[in-house]
Amino acid sequence: MGNDLPEVDASWVETDELVNEVEAEPVEVDELTAARVEAESHLNDLRRVAADFDNYRKRTQRELTSIIERSSERVVGSLLPVLDSLDSALAIETSTEAEEKLKAGVRGTRDQLLDLLEREGLEPIEAIDETFNPVLHEAVANNQEGEGPLVVLTQYRKGYLLKGKVLRASLVGVGHREA
């Protein structure tokens, strides 16, 4: 009778150890949660830095574009008197074949310069017979006779737009259009 008792499974002893480990896990879960929160915070910081850098890159690109445009405007503007001088030379009447050949050379030079400036965005402002526009035209002579809107009757100096903005207004004489 002494050995009639069934054998007792000792695995329950290990269960106590497992319970102790499970009770210790909340500390690890808390540490994991804290690490996740910290990682998310670092990720948000990284996103902010990336957005700040992207904004910085865009701003510097805009500033560089603006500097280039202002430089181009300054160079093109300084070449307009040269273009005016070439136009004046072409307006002179020639009387000899040599003068005509010289004029052809001046015309070629003027055309090359104008082509280069047009590639940079230069456009002439049309003035004669156009309605006077104070943004595009600078009136230096005014004939008050007549009625109706003022129109450009005479152009003293050609005006130009550069990339759609007024670089130099046309110097004009204005008056009322005769019916």
Angstrom CA distances, 67 to 63, 79, 124, 126, 128, stand at 6, 19, 24, 29, 34
**Which residue(s) pair with 122 in the sheet?**
162
Which of 85, 82, 155, 88 lies closest to 117 in space, CA to CA? 82
Residue labelled with tokens 């002893």:
13
Domain 122-179 is found in CATH 2.60.120.10:
no
Cα angle at 43 between 63 and 61, to 5 degrees?
10
- Percentage of the chain exceeding pLDDT 90: 73
Per-residue pLDDT band for 82 (boundaries 50, 70, 90) equals: very high
Q: Which residue has the higher pLDDT, 45 or 144?
A: 45
The mean predicted confidence, pLDDT, of the chain is: 88
The pLDDT value recorded for residue 179 is 55
Query: Distance (Å, rounded) from C-alpha 76 to C-alpha 165?
Result: 13
